[in-house]
Amino acid sequence: MYSTFLGGTAADEGIGIAVDKDENVYILGNTGSEDFPTVKNSYDTSYNGGHGGYFYDTGDVFIVKYASPAASQPPDKPGKPSGPRLLFAGRPHVFTTTAIDPNGDNLYYMWDWGDGTYSGWLGPYASGEPAQASHAWTDAWTYRIKVSAKDDHGYESVWSDPFIVNIGSIKEGKMPPK
């Protein structure tokens, strides 16, 4: 079942509809709206009709594709990050994870370092390709690292299970807790 709103501020009409084998929906129609919505990389994003506001004598034609919700799925939950567990503050350390995208899309990863900072989206990586990121903590403490994956279509996974690291401080003479 599909439901949406499409159109601008003038007269718009869908005159044909089709569904392909992947359940993507295509709508053909006419618009008299100068503000009919378009997306990046559209064939033509300008309104070329007249200014009468009625599509049947001065408007433009449109074709819209709605991707099936089943056509793209979010990536699977990333694997629990791996890397060293006993570390020292001020030194960068490398961690690794992997996720699979059911559609085979490229993936981007965001790391939550457990200290209130995030990596931002890193990538792209091929689905199933190990992804690495590094981080240096400033304070001796125990932190919970987790990671999320996002595919090319913007669908995001849930967060991974946390990986616990213990950070010591050479400057303060504190060894990482075991």
Per-residue pLDDT 10s for the chain (178 aa) are 566 778 888 878 888 999 887 778 888 888 888 888 887 777 787 777 765 555 555 678 888 887 776 667 899 999 999 999 999 999 999 999 999 999 899 999 999 999 999 999 999 999 999 999 999 999 999 999 999 999 988 999 999 999 999 999 876 666 666 6
Residues paired with residue 11 on neighbouring β-strands, in sequence order: none
Give the chain's domain count. Answer: 2
Quick one: 163 and 122 in the same domain?
yes
Contacts of residue 160, defined as CB under 8 A and 6 or more positions apart, other chains included, come to 77, 78, 79, 80, 81, 97, 146, 147, 148
DSSP state of 22: T
Quick one: 107 and 53 in the same domain?
no
Q: Note whether residue 6 is domain-resident.
A: no
Q: Note whether residue 7 is domain-resident.
A: no
Quick one: 124 and 163 in the same domain?
yes
Q: Note whether residue 75 is domain-resident.
A: no
Quick one: 95 and 35 in the same domain?
no
Residue ending a domain, among 38, 66, 94, is: 66
Domain that holds residue 119: 86-168
DSSP state of 10: S
Q: Note whether residue 74 is domain-resident.
A: no
Going by their DSSP bridges, the two strands 86-88 and 163-168 should be labelled as parallel
CATH of the domain at 102: 2.60.40.10
pTM of the model: 0.62
